[in-house]
Chain A
């Protein structure tokens, strides 16, 4: 007697029936998979866009500027103006700069770049000089490119903007005298169309000495990564530790993009709900049709002594198997679509993350939708009278 691996449990009945009706059931799986794929793709693209915003925020540099309150000056830089070399605008100190690092959301701050600005006389003309901490400045302004020469390595090294270098006819290696202190031009910045093209950048401490304002700071540029926290919170926190300063958030394109991501998130959620409802209706109608077609078979189950919960188990078991397949297929298709569509449709450069949580969510969601949409058909099945099995086909 060869018994092999034959088994007939409720799940085997469900499996064999699904296999028998594989064409129609495949349509159901595809219907469910389309719903899941849409939701997964939108979710993955939104996530990628958020990651992209974080990267772009980094690239955009400062998104918060801290300046002293009430200055009325003529030459300007980043929201602050200076009138002339004789007028010193610094009213912030290095201690203030340190305080920025003590706020509650300090972990979200990536760069704090203090600056001292002053108009100085150079080669017979007035020049705007900015004292900076080069390490922070270079992290903040990733678009900076030293076209000639090299990055500063010594305290007396200076970087000069492209237009200013041209106007002063200076080049790397030249030395300049500013208020009796000698600086060496280490490099010339590539022209980038900003005010930086007309500025002489020197070390902050050296600038403080040259301008006769030790410990003074004109403004502080802050780069904060705020995909997870509202930038207004950080602005408020800096304002609290520096009450004498004016703290301004630079919204610009990043903020607009964040807004776009927010809108897309809402759109994705609404679209996903609609598509999943359609998927649920596909499951409902298909399962209702299957139950109607199988009334005799279900009547036979009841005549054989299957309890109502056994019959419901067969129907829901089938729904669960189909939903699992739909969920997994939908996840793969959704992620695939997101990977292909994100760079083209959403202009996202960050890679779409293969998040296993989304996969689990997709399968769980498909299971929940499939099972809940099959509850009514399963209930209908439990009501089939066993005498139906007696009727002729």
Chain B
């Protein structure tokens, strides 16, 4: 489903190059739930945006469903994001002036589908994340967990093959964060491919596979909560 071949990303920060990703090779199969773990600045969010067709790598290739994403034009990349990617942002990024329903409909604003179908889909996906009856509420009238669910609903409404989540619990308390993570796990169990960035091992435990990243490189992959002792030590040192 997703293949990264020797992907590197170098940012130019005030004239000094900052290496965010170094020769990363990664494969994610359809239906997997992968957590990208690492400390701040490790390159995990950059990796997520590269997978999501939002951030062109300095070198290497990214294939999604056989499509060489960065060989596409800028506008084709937008179409790719629309068709393939659902994104849950750390800050959720709900538009405060739109209701829950409208925030979900926003993702379909440019989709060439009839209005009635858009409405049906939006109601359906909001029901799926447990927000039936709260469709007309503004984000400010919803709890943090409910806002997270709206963000997930918006990411899912176009039926994207891949759901990307950047620290989806980062702005939530532990209990509401757990609700969102459970939702992602349930979606994955229903066949949805999920790639999630987190630095929280408890969040990573919801994933089927954990990819540990440090200094722009994948240092270890494995089943959740099973990072080896040397990696754990390196991660701990980086987090200190």
Contact = CB atoms under 8 A, between A and B. Distances in A.
Interface of A: 1, 3, 6-10, 12-13, 16-17, 19-20, 296-297, 300, 302-310, 385-387, 389-390, 392-393
Given A16-B97, A305-B78, A307-B78, A6 B90 contact: no
Contacts of B101: 6
B115 A10 contact: no
A13 B78 CA distance: 19
A6 B105 contact: yes
A306 B106 CA distance: 10
Contact of B78 (A20, A297, A308, A392): A308
User: Is chain A's interface secondary structure helix, strand, loop, or mixed overall?
Assistant: helix
Contact of B109 (A13, A17, A389): A13
B90 A390 contact: yes
Contacts of A12: 102, 109
B74 interface: yes
A387 B55 contact: yes
B123 A305 contact: no
B166 A390 contact: yes
B97 A20 contact: yes
A175 to B, nearest CB: 93
A310 B105 CA distance: 15
B109 A10 contact: yes
B141 interface: no
Chain B CB within 10 Å — which of A296, A304, A308 has the most? A304
Contacts of B206: none
Contacts of B85: 305
Interface string B75-109: 10011111101010111010111110110011111
B119 interface: yes
A13 B106 contact: yes
B54 interface: yes
Contacts of A305: 78-83, 85, 110, 158
A66 to B, nearest CB: 74
A307 B109 CA distance: 11
B147 interface: no
A303 B106 contact: no
B42 interface: no
Nearest to B94: A300
A387 B80 CA distance: 15
B54 A304 contact: no
A10 B105 contact: no
Contacts of A13: 98, 106, 109
A358 B97 CA distance: 37
Chain A CB within 10 Å — which of B49, B54, B119 has the most? B54
Given A1-B123, A305-B78, A305-B81, 16 more contacts: A3-B116, A7-B115, A10-B110, A16-B98, A19-B97, A296-B93, A297-B95, A302-B78, A302-B81, A303-B54, A304-B82, A305-B158, A307-B110, A310-B109, A387-B54, A390-B90
The 4 nearest A-B residue pairs measured at CB: A305-B82, A8-B105, A386-B54, A305-B81
A303 B87 contact: yes
Interface in B160-188: 166
B193 interface: no
Nearest to B167: A390
Nearest to A20: B97
